[in-house]
Amino acid sequence: MGLRLYNTMSSRMEEFAPLVDREVRMYACGPTVYDYGHIGNFRTFIAVDILRRYLKQSGYAVKHVMNITDVDDKIIRNAARDGVTVQQYTAKYEKAFLEDAAMIGIEQPTLVRATEHIRQMAEFVAKLEKKGIAYRTDDGSYYFRIAKFPQYGKLSKKDFSGMVDGARVDVDEYEKDSARDFALWKSPKPGEASWETVIGRGRPGWHLECSVMSMQELGESFDLHAGGEDLVFPHHENEIAQSESLTGKPFAHFWFHARFLLVEGEKMSKSLGNFFTLRDLVLKGHKPSSIRYLLTSVPYRNQLNFTFDGLRQAAVSVERLRNFRSRLETGKFADGSNDEMQALGKETEERMRAALDDDLNTAQAQAAIFEMVRRANIALDSGQLRSNDGPGLVSALNSFDEIFAVLKDDDLPKMRHVLDWAKADGREEQVSPELRDLLRSGQLPDAEIERKISDMKAARAARNFQLSDSIRGELTAAGILVEITKNDIRWRRK
Ligand code: AMP
Ligand code: ZN
């Protein structure tokens, strides 16, 4: 059985099959770069990243395109407020977004910027006008006449039969039940960024941007289009209307929407004080791997309630996996193999695959790997794990990590980067003692730690437990976790 995905267009689960064999062309709506990305944004971007990684693991070549919305109503307003150009304003947030995405383990898609495709967008509007689908108003704006696209509403399942022909809306985001002709192109207003084009001076609407850039990069029909659930209407409905009325062909085959994230049971909002950017959490001392793990712990179409308790549990889960891997890699095992352990790795890989095939059920995939760790730890503790058993288990861990990307112990350098940014951006007061402590733990070089560990071993061999404890105390104070087992002493950074 292969991958099955829920398709918002058909409202049911469907067998995933790309239009061209073994090659997936997908487009995800990217960020509007007017502020730092919040954890809701990253829930959606990580859901798309999981999809991309799983398609690759399943043997598809993936062409994944994402737009950067670097001109829109909010950006223009904020840039004017700060007295800078649109480009100066967005450059800072685009850079921050790319850093954050890398920090949280998102593989970078092909990026396309709205402001670099203005000419193509104007030409697209000109073609729609020629077909009688777009019309110009007296001020030089252009609107899409939705009466010309009878299927309008097919994605959001809204019934717009009673709509008033010619009623218009000129903002990018509007009420959920509004069937109105929407702005394709906005005429210039004094002080706003605008471009000279074949249809006159102005700037593109947000919806137009995604239609033009996705088809340019992926063709008139492609496999999958993704975003958060808030984009179903009007954004994606409008993209479909623009694209299909121009080409007469189906636009995207699969529509993939991630459910909105809640924080402590509520919709995230600045006024409720439960609004967190990724950087806010890192400044509080939370590791990117814990955040990524938590954001994937509930399947993308289910409600995920972000809590700080959940985040702490996620950190423990990641730690458990990393410890298990280091036990496997550094332990010494008796020769031979254990049938149960031989089967366990393979079984776990199959269970993870079955879970992800089922509309990317990440929770089940995580449950499968934890079941493996639980059983293998029992075997390890009782000396039942043999030298030939390790590779199968490591292979299951690696398959897991190709998708979840949390096993590499590289949180501290990423967090240090956020600390540097906070200093440069005048946010020192937001840096928590937890983050400072954690970063201090990363300062002792490995070689020095190894030396202290061998001193501990020597002290213990000489039954000088006081000395061993005092070295351990030093290491703990420097943020190094030391674990003493029957035959060995292992260490890890916090
Ligand atoms: P924006 O930068 O606002 O254009 O949003 C970027 C992406 O984040 C879009 O796919 C949105 O649908 C998604 N998004 C925004 N808020 C949330 C949230 N609270 N939970 C999940 N996804 C969100
Ligand atoms: Zn879009």
* DSSP per-residue letters across 171-225: SSS--TT---EEEEEE---TTS--EEETTEEEEE-HHHHHHHHHHHHH-SSEEEE
Which CATH number is 324-409 given? 1.20.120
The answer to whether the beta carbons of residues 70 and 113 sit under 8 Å apart is yes
* pLDDT, averaged across the chain: 93
pLDDT digit string (tens) for 71-101? 988 899 899 889 999 999 999 999 999 999 9
Cα of 432 from ligand 1 centre, angstroms: 27
226 alpha carbon, closest ligand:
1
Cα of 121 from ligand 2 centre, angstroms: 14
Atom 17 of ligand 1: nearest residue by CA position: 40
Task: Report the nearest atom of ligand 1 relative to the CA of 267.
Answer: 19
Task: Report the nearest atom of ligand 1 relative to the CA of 229.
Answer: 12
Pocket of ligand 1 (CB under 6 A): 29, 31-32, 40-41, 43-44, 227-228, 230-231, 258, 260-261, 268
Omega cis (within 30) before 234: yes
Q: Is the pLDDT of residue 299 over 70?
A: yes
Q: Given this model, what pLDDT does residue 437 score?
A: 85
Atom 6 of ligand 1: nearest residue by CA position: 31
Percent of the chain with pLDDT over 90: 78
Q: Given this model, what pLDDT does residue 340 score?
A: 96
Domain 22-263 homologous superfamily, CATH:
HUPs (3.40.50.620)
Task: Report the nearest atom of ligand 1 relative to the CA of 44.
Answer: 22
Probe target for ligand 1 pocket from 51, 230, 262, with the most ligand atoms within 8 Å of CB? 230
Q: Is the pLDDT of residue 486 over 80?
A: no
Probe target for ligand 1 pocket from 44, 98, 259, 274, with the most ligand atoms within 8 Å of CB? 44
Q: Given this model, what pLDDT does residue 122 score?
A: 98
274 alpha carbon, closest ligand:
1
Confidence band for 169, pLDDT divided at 50, 70 and 90: confident
Cα of 67 from ligand 2 centre, angstroms: 7
Atom 9 of ligand 1: nearest residue by CA position: 228
- Strand order in 261-263's β-sheet? 266-267, 261-263, 304-306
Distances (CA, A) of 448 to 154, 326, 416, 443: 64, 19, 21, 10
How far apart are alpha carbons 309 and 483 in whole angstroms?
A: 25
Residue listed under structure tokens 């112990």? 409
Cα of 151 from ligand 2 centre, angstroms: 19
Cα of 230 from ligand 1 centre, angstroms: 7
Q: Given this model, what pLDDT does residue 176 score?
A: 62
239 alpha carbon, closest ligand:
2
Lowest mean pLDDT among 115-119, 218-222, 490-494: 490-494
pLDDT digit string (tens) for 423-480? 999 999 999 999 998 888 777 778 788 888 988 998 898 898 988 998 898 888 777 8
The answer to whether the beta carbons of residues 99 and 206 sit under 8 Å apart is no
How far apart are alpha carbons 8 and 336 in whole angstroms?
A: 51
